[in-house]
A and B are shown apart, each in its own frame.
Chain A
Amino acid sequence: MKAFAIGSVQCEPGHLATGHLIGGYLENSAAVEVPLVVLHGTRPGPVLWIGGALHGPEINGIEVIRRITRELVAPETLSGTVIGAPVQNPLSLRDHHRFILREGADVNRVFPGKALGNHTQRLAHRLFTEGIQRADVVIDIHSNTHPAIDFILIRGGSPAAERSRELAELFGWTLVLSLLEQEQSMTGTLMDAALAAGIPAMTLELTPQRELHDDSISSCCAGVLNVMREMGMLDEPTTMPVRREPIPELLGNTVQVLAGRGGFVHPLRQVGTRVNAGDSLAIIRDAYGDVVETIVSPLQGYVTVYPRYANQTCFSGQTVAFVNPIRAGA
Chain B
Amino acid sequence: MTAHYLQGRYAEGAVPVAWVTSGFPVELLRPLGFHTVYPENHAAICGVKRLVTTLAAAAEEEGYSRDLCSYARTDLGSAFTGQTPVGRLPRPDLLCCCTNICQTVLYWYRALAERFRVPLVLIDTPYVYGEAPPHRLRYVRDQLEEAVRVAERVARRRVEPEELREVTRLAREGSLLWGECLAMSQSRPAPWTGIDGFFHMAPIVSLRGTEECNAYYRMLRDELADRVKRGVGGIREERHRLLWDNLPIWFWIRPLATLLAEHGFNFVCTSYTSAWAEAGRRVDPLDPFGSAAVAYTHVILNEDLRHRLATLSRLAREYRVDGAVLHSDRSCKPYSIGQVDLRQILSEELEIRVLLLEADHSDPRSFAAEAGENRLMAFMEGFA
Is B one of A's binding partners? Answer: no
